[in-house]
Structure 1
């Protein structure tokens, strides 16, 4: 398998043009544990991945201030900052659940960066009560240490890893945003179906602005390994499947929430393709997905709403976009501390209306806060959510749920079409899972309803990340 990875590295280099020296990729796997009140970290392993570092050498330092966490890599001898990235975590979502008030759990995470030439100090930062980054944990990493794992990994040997499929290739990985579509739940007989669906979803992503205008800045790869039985686990209905990535439904008790809690399995497969971002495509027909900034996103690739879910969840993973909806039930929620300005780019606590974070896009004619048909929307949504709950409780066919979503979206679009500020950038109350206290930039957005476009503020946030990886 390692020889195959070496051949892949050479093939990628030759296909991209003149070969230039790039460092290997180092991955630090850690455990992030605790409960609603405390957290701690521990080193699990250090892995030298088989492919060269795919990131943009022009932007090793992350100045975006995005993520619930960030990590910094500094030269252990001189203290020089070599690399940093913001990210968010599954642990961070779990600790807002009721379970986190009653017990402790541990979750796997990975921090990837260019292989250094000498020992480095790796520091993980979290957010304090004012949403400022503060150091939480640090560890010295020696890339030459004997316990750095190199070559094939035991988990990857469980599954026959093939060559990734180049869905879109526009240049060397170091010059482009590299997106990996990682399939799970596909049998050997379904590999062609996986590739076809991967191509379809890539086309969907690049039909939505600003991805549409920036398509040339992306490479898209697809990789899947065959599993013995079609589909992924959905424990709430008694379905359990062997999984290559660990992805499944019912995370934190939410029937539609799909994540993997087996970070090791997911990373040991993903390392055989160049990637900055990963969308796990699960072979499932039931509506669902999930997205963690800087980690991964997921989509039920067989569902009627896959196009919307794919782009929405990728918005979380790629640009740290917050959910703007607040009427649908979720398994996690806002943290239990006084409201402060969120770090996410598309929601605000509006603590100072005169200095809203997207003020440059607000015209003088737009009032802040911005009125909208909030009561009518909420009255309608109460009925929709009751019907949605009943459909799941009665285990009705998925087609009925899909029809309900279409009915809902038609009603919302008709309601919003009559709103005075339907096209304005302002501050519309309701977002971030809260009916009050948080505001979103525009009346409608792909992060609010099942519409097909990002608002102007979300588009700008996405462009910032594209630039970080391709300019």
Structure 2
């Protein structure tokens, strides 16, 4: 892989090398409102626009076969009904809907779907999984991308992309865009250095390591007047173009932006299919939503872990495999089978979703030292809460995390099924009822590698977006 610093390289890449430019469609974005509460949902069209750059995706991979996400967008020819594009995704609204607040009031979130510009009018349909995990339509809108009210001209970009890693033409590669928030004008070099450092780490972790040549990485940051993003629980409020902040849904470590329009208007100035936002903060935190974006605190001692873990959510729809840390979501009496590839209810062990990875004779459920782990986790979480309540230095929190990881490694080192793929109870924020594939994984604790099932799940998405995947 080569790294380039000139915008001339971007122009070259956007010409898509040997691919005829005339054959590359424009990028259509549909912005819409998603509103409601814990029981009801509504949708309304906001605007349709043509983004400044051509479609970055592989036109041979327009149909999503991964079966990921709470939602799916389908774009069909209005006259013939032919499906011409689809992608699974999840939403901030979907997460908010499971919080206590959603049972008390209505809220609205703006969302977007993007697709290659069609030649004819289309029907854009949003689908959602029902109780049996089947996608069913919940809203549709007919769109003529040549209509007069489609936005075709936008203000000049307030920030330009910097190429971090360029492996080839965008339609042949996965395009990852790193956005910066909370970096002042004087810190732009620091942002680029952070983007280089964390993306370099990503490509040291399997399967990204083995598939590095399937990726391009770009970086954009709009300078802020102050360093860092808002952390309302501590009285810190900073303005920024992206509006990224801590304390989402009342979780002190959860970092998101709820300003989708700002996010998309900045991101559209680079080729992208996936976005990770780096916040210029030391406090531990991050977040990730499948098909939307992920976030990570770049100045934290665990930034490398955060970058990869949160990208696992956003990129491959991986579930959190931990269950001892407090989260904003409300637990349900009935645990549905997760759509995520790395968690299950194990209601039918004979048809375990990752049974092809399980060695004959491996017991299901698979025993592990859960009782000892749970007792330690209870004490560890109490210490964590106290450190935050007392506003102790971040170095003390980092030291606690290190001690916790060392305890886990020691505990699991003598476990009989340490390296086996099986079904280990405790996952998806629940101590019982959900099972994960292996004892340790980046999605379970602060380990440095993905389990075999997550590794395979990531490769499926790389294949969906890259030329090498299209050849399989």
Match of 1:356 among 352, 356, 360: 352
Aligned length: 460
Equivalences for residues 114-153 of structure 1 within 5 A = 114-153=116-155
Q: Contact (CA 8 Å) 1:228, 1:242: kept in 2 or not?
A: yes
Structure 1 counterpart of 2:50: 48
Q: Contact (CA 8 Å) 2:10, 2:163: kept in 1 or not?
A: no
In the alignment, structure 1 segments of 5+ residues that lack a partner are 1-5
Aligned pair 1:214/2:215, yes or no?
A: no
Q: Contact (CA 8 Å) 2:27, 2:115: kept in 1 or not?
A: yes
Tell me how far 1:337 sits from its aligned partner. Answer: 6.2
What is the distance in 2 between the residues matched to 1:227 and 1:175?
34
Tell me how far 1:11 sits from its aligned partner. Answer: 3.5
SS of the equivalent of 1:248 reads coil
Equivalences for residues 5-84 of structure 1 within 5 A = 10-14=11-15, 16=17, 19-20=20-21, 21-84=23-86
What is the distance in 2 between the residues matched to 1:349 and 1:314?
24
SS of the equivalent of 2:423 reads strand
Q: 1:8 to 1:241 in 2, by over 3 A?
A: farther
Structure 1 counterpart of 2:185: 188
Q: Which moved more, 1:16-25 or 1:239-248?
A: 16-25
TM-score, structure 2 normalization? 0.95
Q: Write out per-residue CA displacement over residues 317-374 of structure 1, whole angstroms, 9 at most, x where no aligned residue.
A: 000000000000111245x363332110000110101110000110112101000000
Structure 2 counterpart of 1:230: 227
Q: Contact (CA 8 Å) 2:31, 2:111: kept in 1 or not?
A: yes
Tell me how far 1:227 sits from its aligned partner. Answer: 1.3
Q: Write out per-residue CA displacement over residues 373-403 of structure 1, whole angstroms, 9 at most, x where no aligned residue.
A: 0010000000010010011111111111011
Q: Write out per-residue CA displacement over residues 240-284 of structure 1, whole angstroms, 9 at most, x where no aligned residue.
A: 111121111000011100000000000000000000000011111
SS of the equivalent of 1:426 reads coil
Match of 1:465 among 452, 461, 466: 461
Q: Which moved more, 1:6-15 or 1:19-28?
A: 6-15
Q: Write out per-residue CA displacement over residues 147-185 of structure 1, whole angstroms, 9 at most, x where no aligned residue.
A: 1112224xxx6x7222x1111101110000000001111
Aligned pair 1:445/2:441, yes or no?
A: yes
What is the distance in 1 between the residues matched to 2:296 and 2:373?
27
Equivalences for residues 287-298 of structure 1 within 5 A = 287-298=284-295
Q: 1:356 to 1:269 in 2, by over 3 A?
A: same
What is the distance in 2 between the residues matched to 1:40 and 1:366?
46
Q: Write out per-residue CA displacement over residues 206-234 of structure 1, whole angstroms, 9 at most, x where no aligned residue.
A: 00000000000000011112111111111
SS of the equivalent of 2:396 reads helix
What is the distance in 2 between the residues matched to 1:178 and 1:323?
24
SS of the equivalent of 1:32 reads strand
What is the distance in 1 between the residues matched to 2:231 and 2:70?
28
Tell me how far 1:424 sits from its aligned partner. Answer: 0.1
Q: Which moved more, 1:336-345 or 1:212-221?
A: 336-345
Aligned pair 1:423/2:419, yes or no?
A: yes
SS of the equivalent of 1:124 reads strand
Structure 1 counterpart of 2:3: none
Structure 1 counterpart of 2:379: 383
In the alignment, structure 2 segments of 5+ residues that lack a partner are 1-6
SS of the equivalent of 2:148 reads coil
Superposition RMSD on alpha carbons, in Å? Answer: 1.4
What is the distance in 1 between the residues matched to 2:259 and 2:56?
23
Aligned pair 1:106/2:108, yes or no?
A: yes
Structure 1 counterpart of 2:4: none
Match of 1:262 among 255, 259, 276: 259
Tell me how far 1:15 sits from its aligned partner. Answer: 7.5
